[in-house]
Amino acid sequence: MKIKVSIVDDHAGTRVNLLKVLQSAPELHCLHGYPDGETALREIPKNLPDVVLMDIRLPGMSGIECVAKLKEKVPQIDILMLTTYEESDLIFESLRAGATGYLLKNMPPAELINAVVQARTGGSPLSMRIARKIVGHFQEIKKPQSETEALTKREQEILSLLAKGFLYKEIADQLHISINTVRVHVQKVYEKLHVHSRSQAIMRFLGK
């Protein structure tokens, strides 16, 4: 059975070009092209394509909003974003809305055909540049801070001196602060490290 495909794009020329590409593949059958999300939302549930190629920037309802509403009505269809936009927020919003993949319009026709087939056979096709952006996004996410990294520089100084056996008065004299200030810093260290004693704080600071 041929894979039935519909197109949602507000540019008539783009719809015509995509139709030619899709019709050139014997395994695909292009059903309809729609100029806006409102029309697509009304007609696609009636015609039930297997895959929808969806642009993001549409007049009126956005492509992302259309994806979310279509998936509510016909959750079995696969929707591929086909757009010129590479912004990370649009990529993730589209995927969260229910898109199966995210493709760039400048991809070669053979790759587009292959992406449609992949989507229908369980894949989540992404243009290479989009895949790299997603990988880069996750690589930039900072690892959670360790408890000791959450301490201020002064708190770390005080804890280091405590670990060396200094008394509160000795720490106060060395850092030119009052004993009461030392006590306040130590109390904050206990709270941040979730400990209740000097020895526990030192052990946590030393990674033991």
The residues pairing with 30 across neighbouring beta strands, listed in sequence order, are 5
Domain boundaries, the chain: 3-140, 148-205
191 pLDDT more than 70: yes
Fold of 148-205: Arc Repressor Mutant, subunit A (1.10.10)
Please state, rounded to an integer, the average pLDDT across all residues of the chain. Answer: 90
pLDDT tens-digit readout, 101-121: 999 999 999 999 999 999 999
**Token pair listed for 165:** 């056996």
Q: For residue 195, what are the CA distances in angstroms to 26, 57, 147?
A: 68, 53, 11
pLDDT tens-digit readout, 72-104: 999 999 999 999 988 888 999 999 999 999 999
Distance of alpha carbon 196 from alpha carbon 194, whole angstroms? 7
Q: Is 128 left (phi over 0), alpha (psi -120 to 50) or beta?
A: alpha
Fold of 3-140: Rossmann fold (3.40.50)
Quote the pLDDT of residue 132: 87
What torsion do the CA atoms of 201, 202, 205, 207 make, to the nearest 10 degrees? -110
pLDDT tens-digit readout, 10-31: 999 999 999 999 999 999 999 9
Distance of alpha carbon 56 from alpha carbon 37, whole angstroms? 10
pLDDT tens-digit readout, 45-70: 999 999 999 999 999 999 999 999 99
| Domains 3-140 and 148-205 agree in fold | no
